[in-house]
Every structure is written in structure tokens, then in C-alpha cells.
Chain A
Amino acid sequence: EDKVVQSPLSLVVHEGDTVTLNCSYEVTNFRSLLWYKQEKKAPTFLFMLTSSGIEKKSGRLSSILDKKELFSILNITATQTGDSAVYLCAARILYTSGTYKYIFGTGTRLKVLA
């Protein structure tokens, strides 16, 4: 059964701390891994990772994929209260038929205290 597991489930840090969020996956026909930030209802896209070992960066956020060990990490440096959210990762599957499927983890709830 395809699955995506995120850890930790929740995390409380203070402003300025650095956090690392983990996402491991076990899926067939893996195509890419995606990270989203969900503050209220609609998740917003952060990163899409397709190749192993290539770090993607956006400001204080960065992410990398390890396709051998089947995991990805999302790093946030110098955290701010505005980083408080649920962070979701998803494995995108591409079947040989050409159809797609997405498997999401349950998310990591991050709370940054002032």
C-alpha cells in the first residue's frame, strides 16, 4: 500500500530556531515529492522535488530529496511566527498508463512562539 509518513506530528519552537521536518515515502511509480504549507484551508505550494540530492531553496526554506533512502526534509531557518502552519508533503505517482495519483502525509503542525 502506498504511504507517506511525516514526522514529527507537531513541533513547538521559538522565533529564530531552525527546524527540520521529515517526510518518508513508500510508493510505487514515484514521480516527485511536493511540500505545501497549510495555514487555514488552502495549502500553498512550497517545493517540488524530482531529482535526488539537489537542494531547492526559497528564502529561509529549503528542501532536498533522497530517492535511495526514500525521504525528503524541509528546513526552515530563523523561524518566525508567520511560519506557524501545518506542513504537508505528498508523493506524486505516475503510472505507466499516464495517470497520476497523489498520496499526502498527515502533516507536521509547527507552532513558532514569539
Chain B
Amino acid sequence: GAGVSQSPSNKVTEKGKDVELRCDPISGHTALYWYRQSLGQGLEFLIYFQGNSAPDKSGLPSDRFSAERTGGSVSTLTIQRTQQEDSAVYLCASSLNPDNEQFFGPGTRLTVL
């Protein structure tokens, strides 16, 4: 596609529910990244994929967070048993390869009530 797209753009959920966030990277980009940005904070790096593989998952905040990428394209970030502190904007980015500039999607604003 023309740019990185994310869905949904906004998600409101109740504490304890699971949510799934989706990212469609730019076609042909092998690297895909997930970030979290809490109100007034900088970006927190969560995980990146090279192809379908995530070399390092240590940036995920807890074991309630998981991510996968299939077909070297779409990625989903899943948060299980959401907590209020999970409320944030979740940004996805992609790049041609990990050594190139990243292009960001518009983000998903998650609100956990």
C-alpha cells in the first residue's frame, strides 16, 4: 500500500478483556516495528520483526503482550487481560530493512476503562 495502515484507529475496552491491534506495513518492507506512546511520553520500543521472525521479545511490557507477523506482511499485537495502564497509542512502523528509515502508521489509541 501507499503507507503503513493500522486498525482500529481507536479502541475502547473494559479492563480484563483481550484486544488485537493490526498493522499493514508498506508493501515490500521486510522490517516491522511496534511502539507504545503513553500520554506525554516518548516512544517505547516494544518489538520488531525481520520477516516473520521477532529476534528479541524482551521489550514487550509483560507476558500479556504478544505479537506475530505472517507472510512477511500483516502483524498483530495482542494484549490479553487488559489493564488500565495499557491505555496508550500503539504505533506501528515499517522499513525496507532494519538499517533504513522507518515509516510510521497513524496509530491505534487504546483506552482501557
Contacts and interface: CB of A to CB of B under 8 A. Distances in A.
Interface of A: 4, 34, 41-45, 48, 88, 90, 95, 97-107
B71 interface: no
Contacts of A97: 55
A42 B104 contact: yes
B107 A102 contact: no
Contact of B102 (A45, A95, A106): A45
B45 A102 contact: yes
17 contacts: A4-B42, A34-B102, A41-B89, A41-B91, A43-B43, A45-B101, A45-B103, A88-B42, A88-B43, A95-B56, A100-B48, A102-B35, A102-B43, A102-B45, A104-B43, A104-B45, A107-B42
B98 interface: yes
A42 B105 contact: yes
B45 A101 contact: yes
Closest 3 CB pairs of A and B: A99-B55, A42-B104, A106-B42
Q: Main SS of chain B's interface residues?
A: loop
Given A42-B4, A42-B107, A99-B56, 18 more contacts: A41-B89, A42-B91, A43-B91, A44-B104, A45-B101, A45-B102, A45-B103, A97-B55, A100-B48, A100-B55, A101-B45, A102-B33, A102-B35, A103-B45, A104-B35, A104-B42, A104-B43, A106-B40
A101 B43 contact: no
Interface of B: 4, 33, 35, 40-45, 48, 55-56, 59, 89, 91, 98, 101-107
